[in-house]
């Protein structure tokens, strides 16, 4: 197998790049800021610089996350952004090979889109490895075992559910909900319930600082937005208990998806999942009260990863140092 030096996760929230022998070399928001011109849109900022502009630019500036897969992939912007990140870590065009972490259950068309982006940034050999496999490795679990593992990855734009056995995914599902969906829900909730307009960055801060699934949580946060009726600045205190109304439906949907997935599996596999516990990773796995919420609403034990944010990219980094395991995974893809 070819020598692979880089592991890349171009997620809905962040792009991470792990370099063999160096560790996690880059972690920046997967964001582009673009402004329209006479000959189309011009990129004015990327990554961390684009994040700083959220809610602070002219109305005609778009700040978005380009998708590298799917029917509506933003091919040109994905290429520009990925090339920008690769240049930062010293990636050598046409020479260096990489693992690219991807959602499970991609269609042939989606895989083709991703590989076309990789070709356009002049990568060498590229292996597309599902995120749930990397998460499992990152959490120290044996993916090459006959014992089954189940992973739930609650990311920025999607939630991945994967059932893993002998280095392959035997059952997988992708939900189009993640941290950004919750941010948008918080924006809509406050506009409807309190007549307050806030930006997505403020909603993200609310989610991270006072978001909770505990029914009796007393966390609160003072924020400033714009009054819907008067269009003037308005300051209010948002209570965790109120915010839960905007957050809980998303986790309820994830619970239903987990139940649906497990209920389609043979009893022997379910027994392994119960013994090993469902591994939960991803940025939204840090939500206050999530462990307690799962215990109340799931019939299966869960284990929330100690490093929910980085377990996936660190798992991919471990694969770079274990060519035999990586080769076994690639053979099953």
Closest CA to 92 of 44, 56, 52, 124: 124
> Is 54 part of a structural domain of the chain?
no
**251 and 241 in a common domain:** no
What integer pLDDT is reported at residue 218 of this predicted model? 92
Q: What is the mean pLDDT of residues 74-81?
A: 90
**158 and 269 in a common domain:** yes
What integer pLDDT is reported at residue 255 of this predicted model? 97
pLDDT bin (cut points 50, 70, 90) of residue 109 is confident
Surface-to-core class of residue 103, CB atoms within 10 Å of its CB (0-12 exposed, 13-18 middle, 19+ buried)? buried
Report phi then psi at 131, rounded to 5. Answer: -60, -35
**212 and 115 in a common domain:** no
pLDDT, tens digit (0-9, with 9 covering 90-100), for 191-208: 999 999 999 999 999 999
Strand order from edge to edge, sheet including 6-10: 23-29, 14-19, 6-10, 98-102, 126-130
Residue 45: which residues within 8 A CB-CB, separation 6 or more?
Answer: 32, 33, 52, 53
pLDDT bin (cut points 50, 70, 90) of residue 12 is confident
CATH number at residue 193: 3.90.640.10
What integer pLDDT is reported at residue 2 of this predicted model? 81
Q: Structure tokens of 300? A: 């299966």
CATH number at residue 260: 3.30.420.40
> Is 259 part of a structural domain of the chain?
yes
**280 and 165 in a common domain:** yes
**186 and 239 in a common domain:** yes
Lowest mean pLDDT, pick from 70-79, 105-114, 154-163: 70-79
Domain-terminating residue out of 206, 228, 246: 246
> Is 25 part of a structural domain of the chain?
yes
**166 and 96 in a common domain:** no
**75 and 11 in a common domain:** yes
Number of domains in the chain: 3
Closest CA to 283 of 12, 67, 7: 12
What integer pLDDT is reported at residue 73 of this predicted model? 61
> Is 36 part of a structural domain of the chain?
no
What integer pLDDT is reported at residue 72 of this predicted model? 47
What integer pLDDT is reported at residue 67 of this predicted model? 77
pLDDT, tens digit (0-9, with 9 covering 90-100), for 219-273: 999 999 999 999 999 999 999 999 999 999 999 999 999 999 999 999 999 999 9
pLDDT, tens digit (0-9, with 9 covering 90-100), for 131-143: 999 999 999 999 9
**97 and 21 in a common domain:** yes
**319 and 290 in a common domain:** no
Q: The domain containing residue 189 runs over which residues?
A: 179-246
**Cβ proximity of 149 and 136 under 8 Å:** yes
Q: Structure tokens of 238? A: 């948002």
Closest CA to 159 of 253, 241, 88, 36: 253
pLDDT at 76 over 70: yes
CA distances from 261 to 174, 242, 284 (A): 11, 31, 20
Find the radius of gyration of the CA atoms of the chain: 21
What integer pLDDT is reported at residue 69 of this predicted model? 63
What integer pLDDT is reported at residue 38 of this predicted model? 74
**115 and 259 in a common domain:** no
> Is 53 part of a structural domain of the chain?
no
Q: What is the mean pLDDT of residues 136-152?
A: 95
Closest CA to 182 of 322, 286, 332: 286
């Amino acid at each position: 197998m070819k020598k692979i030096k880089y592991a890349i996760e171009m997620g809905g929230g962040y792009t991470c790049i792990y370099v063999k022998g160096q560790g996690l070399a880059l972690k920046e928001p997967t964001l582009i800021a673009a402004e329209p011109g006479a000959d189309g849109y011009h990129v004015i900022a990327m990554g961390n610089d684009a994040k700083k502009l959220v809610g602070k630019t002219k109305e005609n500036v778009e700040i978005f996350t380009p998708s590298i897969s799917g029917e509506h992939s933003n091919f040109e912007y994905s290429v520009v952004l990925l090339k920008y990140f690769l240049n930062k870590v010293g990636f050598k065009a046409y020479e260096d090979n990489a693992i690219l972490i991807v959602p499970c259950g991609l269609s042939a068309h989606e895989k083709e889109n991703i590989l076309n982006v990789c070709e356009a940034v002049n990568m060498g050999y590229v292996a597309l490895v599902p995120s749930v496999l990397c998460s499992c490795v990152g959490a120290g679990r044996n993916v090459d075992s006959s014992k089954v593992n189940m992973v739930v990855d609650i990311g920025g734009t999607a939630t991945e559910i994967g059932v893993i056995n002998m280095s392959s995914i035997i059952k997988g599902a992708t939900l189009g909900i993640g941290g950004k969906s919750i941010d948008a829900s918080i924006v809509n909730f406050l506009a409807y319930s309190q007549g307050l307009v806030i930006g997505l960055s403020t909603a993200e801060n609310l989610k991270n600082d006072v978001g909770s699934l505990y029914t009796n949580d007393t966390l609160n946060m003072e924020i400033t937005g714009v009054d819907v009726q008067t269009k003037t600045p308005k300051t209010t205190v948002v209570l965790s208990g109120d915010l839960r109304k905007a957050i809980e439906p998303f986790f309820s949907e994830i619970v239903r998806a987990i139940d649906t997935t497990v209920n389609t599996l043979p009893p022997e596999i379910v027994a392994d999942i119960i013994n090993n516990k469902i591994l939960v990773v991803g940025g939204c796995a840090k939500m206050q009260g999530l462990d307690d919420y799962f215990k109340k609403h799931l019939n299966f034990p869960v284990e929330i990863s100690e490093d929910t944010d980085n377990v996936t990219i660190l798992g991919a980094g471990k694969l770079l140092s274990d060519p035999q395991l990586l080769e076994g995974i690639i053979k099953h893809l």
